[in-house]
């Protein structure tokens, strides 16, 4: 990475309140969600969110591997978030690094709060998230993709889990940071929400915000999640509408 001189920092916010890609502070990047693109998986989803491209596949409930993780009273939810070596400008070392392990863990824990795991004792629900192209916010894009993939697999859940990162850019709270904003901004706050109850099941923070800024960020994040939730439900509706038109052919 190396240190970056002040002259290299891009203008993150214009005097008119426009961001590096022309968005307003409360604007999301364009999002497209496709449910069910992978036919081998029990459930799948592809999410294009700004320049992020993320595929999620769900398998299960199925036999637990490794066996010792099996639980007698509920399914275990195993999640593997992976960034492809070609997903970023500077080639990323392939394989599970600490960051990927941490993201896999927080995503699995988020799903543990919404999946009715006790309905499938001694099984595993395996969630794979592959980031094919990354431009900040990939854990949220991964959560959104995995959530739609879980629903596509018919796994019973309290609700879908919309997610978004809010941050602080040039002293202002901004929704859905892109790469430059994440790199040069002052804070990054990814969150995932259970829309039905308003409960946050993922909340991480990098950088600093005052209590007032945090409160504004949470409000902005919840509003963003509501929009994303609508797109997630629409993706599932489109999937089933297509299936019906095709006479049920998968
Ligand atoms: N990134 C990268 N190389 C890495 C890890 C991350 O270039 O090894 C980039 C990538 O674009 C990612 C962004 O940095 O989306 C922000 O990463 P962060 O750890 O904040 O997670 P994310 O915002 O993707 O959930």
Q: What is each CA distance from 228 to 30, 178, 192, 213, in whole angstroms?
A: 10, 16, 11, 22
Residue with tokens 């509706």: 237
Which of 52, 54, 82, 83 for mutating ligand 1's site (highest number of atoms within 8 Å of CB)?
83
181 lines ligand 1 (CB under 6 A): no
141 touches 87 (CB < 8 A): no
Q: What integer best gives the mean pLDDT of the chain?
A: 94
Of 30, 49, 39, give the one whose Cα is nearest residue 239: 39
> For the chain, what are the domain ranges?
29-249
- The pTM is what? 0.94
Which of 138, 141, 146 for mutating ligand 1's site (highest number of atoms within 8 Å of CB)?
138
Mark out the alpha helices in 10-137 (DSSP H runs). Answer: 98-112
Confidence of residue 94 (pLDDT cuts 50, 70, 90): confident
Q: 184: buried, middle or exposed (CB in 10 Å: 19+, 13-18, 0-12)?
A: middle
Domain over 29-249 is classified CATH 2.40.10.120: no
Neighbours of 64 (CB within 10 A): 19
Q: What is each CA distance from 74 to 12, 65, 250, in whole angstroms?
A: 47, 15, 30
pLDDT tens sequence across 55-79: 999 999 999 999 999 999 999 999 9
Residue with tokens 């018919």: 154
Residue 182 CA to ligand 1 centre (angstroms): 8
- HSE toward the beta carbon, residue 204, CA cutoff 13 A: 17
- DSSP summary character for residue 115: B
CA distance 148 to 154: 10
Element (H, E) at 58: strand 52-62
Segment 41-50 shows an average pLDDT of: 98
- HSE toward the beta carbon, residue 41, CA cutoff 13 A: 27
135 lines ligand 1 (CB under 6 A): yes
């Amino acid at each position: 990475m190396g240190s970056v001189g002040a002259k290299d920092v891009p203008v993150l916010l214009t005097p008119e309140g426009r961001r590096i890609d022309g968005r307003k502070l409360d604007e999301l990047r364009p999002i497209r969600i496709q449910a069910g693109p992978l036919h081998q998986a029990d459930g799948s989803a592809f999410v294009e969110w700004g320049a992020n491209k993320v595929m999620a596949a769900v398998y299960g409930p199925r036999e637990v591997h490794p066996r010792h993780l099996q639980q007698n009273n509920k399914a275990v939810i195993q999640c593997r978030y992976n960034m492809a070596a070609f997903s970023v400008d500077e080639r990323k070392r392939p394989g599970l690094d600490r960051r990927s392990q941490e993201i896999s863990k927080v995503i699995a824990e988020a799903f543990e709060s919404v999946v009715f795991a006790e309905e499938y004792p001694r099984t595993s629900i395996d969630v794979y998230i592959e980031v094919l192209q990354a431009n900040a916010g990939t854990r949220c894009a991964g959560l959104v993709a995995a959530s739609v993939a879980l629903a596509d697999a018919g796994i019973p859940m309290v609700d879908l889990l919309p997610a978004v990162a809010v941050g602080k850019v040039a002293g202002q709270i901004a929704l859905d940071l892109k790469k430059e904003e994440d790199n040069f901004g002052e804070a990054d706050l990814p969150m995932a929400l259970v829309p039905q109850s308003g409960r946050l099941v993922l909340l991480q923070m990098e950088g600093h915000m005052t209590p007032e800024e945090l409160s504004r960020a949470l409000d902005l994040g919840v509003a963003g999640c509501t929009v994303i939730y609508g797109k997630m439900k629409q993706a599932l509706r489109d999937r089933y509408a297509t299936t019906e038109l095709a006479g049920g052919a998968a």
